[in-house]
Amino acid sequence: MQIHKLTAHEIRDMINKKEIKAEEVAKAYLDRIKNVDEKLGALLYVAKEEALNNARLIDKKIAEGENAGELAGIPVAVKDNINVTGMQNTCASKILQGYTSPYDAHVTKQLKKDGAVIIGKANMDEFAMGSSNENSAFKLARNPWDIDRVPGGSSGGSAVAVAAGEAPLALGTETGGSVRQPASLCGVVGLKPTYGRVSRNGVVAFGSTLDQVGTMGKDVEDCAILTKCIAGLDSGDFTTADVEVPNYNKFLTKDIKGKRIAIPNEFFGEGLDSEVRARIEESIQVLKQNGAVVEEISLPLAEYALADYYIIACAEASSNLARFDGIRYGRRAKEFKDSVDIYFKSRSEGFGEEVKRRIILGTYVLSTGYYDAYYKKALKVRNLIKQDFERVFKQYDVVVSPTSPTTAFKIGEKKEDVLSMYLSDIYTVPVNIAGLPAISVPCGMAKGLPVGLQIIGNYFEEGKLFNLAYSYEQSTNWHKNMPNV
């Protein structure tokens, strides 16, 4: 039996039936990591001793008849900007190299409470800024379907870990598509919950009004289980909403008869690869056959979302990253003349090019004379984009589109073409701007690479997303595809 090919819910059932021990599962995944991660670069830290010790504790609880939790013994990879006690939390940046977290993020506490075994910290674009995972200060993460291609970003390591069987589940973070886009490019399921559905407490901030922790799994049921574990109100994060978290498993039915699906014309225009378009159109036909009503609509303001995003996200990044100054947080330059020189040298040495670019842009749009012209105007446009979606959700259950305009591109292909790289997120960014939930589910192959179908829902209606995604998944076999690593 190849344990690394099993889904999380299959592993859970086997552990609960005592057909396999949590320690055996942990060892199997650690062996898998040892065999493939040098080639793929999915993990920045492997929690070997911690994982084995925690797995043994789970086995002890089960042997004694205790409830070990919904995720008992299931390995989870955690993105390296989410704090885990005693593990590194570098955000893939030199400025935090060597930092070990003294505390758990809220989502990490929830994982531990539910019996999950944290297997390691996943690679990422530095401070979650990027769409390819090429901005990691430490090493490249590579797409397991073709190691000469990117896995997407910024949660690229999390997607690679799940796709390549290094972990059945993973946590990532989203600011503009950083869970869904790599999930699409690596052929796994990735969910970005409603803003406020999951606590950001203990997650290193990039864009505070956009950031959200997301979930990845081999199939929709895996994603639903992990989302239920981490979702809910947290007194440590005032942006979390006091909205009941349902049992998402009850939405896992093939029946979608009468569900109304909107197809936005603006998401099928110039820049969409013809083969990706074909896979999405085939997927829409599957949803129709399963009983959904499909109609074309217009989201006229969606074209402004990308520009709006880069003003808001960069402004918030400029503010959030000011704390990494060599004095309060982060590495300090070894040689300096005065306090100003500490700031200058520490930040110049510690931050990579993309992070510097976004800090400079964000500082500019917040500066005197430009705040009203850029940042204030961007917030107004954001409200208009929200209203655009709200209008659609008065008549429709979900919006369906491609997740990414292309399949995974070659490493280095867009590194110097910043605008082309930013356009990778053109279909995901509107969701973050509006604070909506959305899921990406594998829907076929193009040129031998995975394609993702994006389903966008109304606020706190993740259940509908799981329903539509599960219905599609049960009518196809794309989620069962695994790369040959």
Q: Which amino acid is at 157?
A: G
Catalytic residue from among 131, 136, 154, 155: 154
Structure tokens at 245: 């978290």
154 among known catalytic residues: yes
Closest to 276 in 3D by CA, of 431, 469, 481, 452 = 452
Catalytic residue from among 79, 218, 228, 464: 79
CA 457, CA 401: separation in Å to the nearest integer?
12
Catalytic residue from among 178, 318, 404, 471: 178
β-sheet bridge partners, residue 446: 449
79 among known catalytic residues: yes
CA 264, CA 272: separation in Å to the nearest integer?
13
Contacts of 56 (CB under 8 A, 6+ apart): 22, 23
CA 387, CA 61: separation in Å to the nearest integer?
50
CA 44, CA 88: separation in Å to the nearest integer?
9
- Residue 203 gets which letter from DSSP? B
- Residue 375 gets which letter from DSSP? I
**Please, what is the angle between helix 274-289 and helix 462-474, to 10°?**
100
Instruction: Please check whether residue 132 is in contact with residue 167, taking contact to mean a CB–CB distance below 8 angstroms.
Output: no
CA 344, CA 336: separation in Å to the nearest integer?
9
414 among known catalytic residues: no
Closest to 35 in 3D by CA, of 63, 66, 2, 67 = 2
471 cis-preceded (ω within 30 degrees of 0) = no
Q: Which residues are catalytic?
A: 79, 154, 178
